Structure 1
Amino acid sequence: MSLDPEIKDLEAERRYELHVDGHVAYVEYNNVEGGRLVSKTLVPEELGGRGIASRLAKHVLQDIRDKGLKILPTCTFFAGYIQKHPEEYGDLVQDGYKIVLGLK
């Protein structure tokens, strides 16, 4: 899977952003040893129902994979997304956090 060219990783702000129709959807993260702690996903109400959050999740998870990192999904959306797609993304979850998500 390739990265979505419209989603930008703003490392200084520690967030991924996607601009759509004059609105900004984003995912916040913190860098931790060996990975990224994903803490928040926000999609403006005006963009709801368009698959924006899933689009962001796919991009962020692929970026984490490409960088050889692990994810600690404290964001409820990301945790749920990974739980729905464990065969695709379960390997990206930090080992200790797999138990929290019921992946082990």
Structure 2
Amino acid sequence: MSFLVEDNPARRRFEILVDDALAGFAAYVPRGEVLVFTHTEVESRFRDMGVGSALIRAALDQVRERGGRIVSECPFMTAFIERHPEYASLVTVA
């Protein structure tokens, strides 16, 4: 199984493809250099396979590479960051 995570600015979300099928997304609202993540969704057939975590990790890595910051209004992303404090430095207040 191969994962590919890409930013889709036109739809304001990071999307994860699993073996070329859209498996989920993390939606955001841009506010300057800050992305406010509002919702993460994984298709039911891809749940419990690590797809959501792979999506969040790749999205946060891409934000870090760009020098951006995030606000997490998404409970899944917030829980991920709490479990992976190496991403805490990306979080800012709205």
- Residues 75-103 of structure 1: CA distance to partner in whole angstroms, max 9, x if unpaired? 000011111111x1110001x36xxxxxx
- Residues 46-75 of structure 1: CA distance to partner in whole angstroms, max 9, x if unpaired? 111100000001101001101111110100
2:66 matched residue in structure 1: 67
1:42, CA displacement in angstroms? Answer: 0.4
Q: Are 1:89 and 2:57 an aligned pair? A: no
> SS where residue 50 of structure 1 aligns?
coil
1:18 matched residue in structure 2: 16
Structure 1 residue ranges without an equivalent (≥5):
98-104
TM-score using structure 2 length: 0.87
For residues 3 and 45 of structure 2, the distance between their equivalents in structure 1, rounded to whole angstroms, comes to 22
Structure 2 residue ranges without an equivalent (≥5):
none
For residues 18 and 63 of structure 2, the distance between their equivalents in structure 1, rounded to whole angstroms, comes to 23
Pairwise CA RMSD: 1.9
For residues 23 and 11 of structure 1, the distance between their equivalents in structure 2, rounded to whole angstroms, comes to 16
2:37 matched residue in structure 1: 38
Using the aligned pairs only, state the percent identity: 28
Question: Aligned residues, how many?
Answer: 92
Instruction: Name the structure where strand makes up a greater proportion of residues.
Output: 2
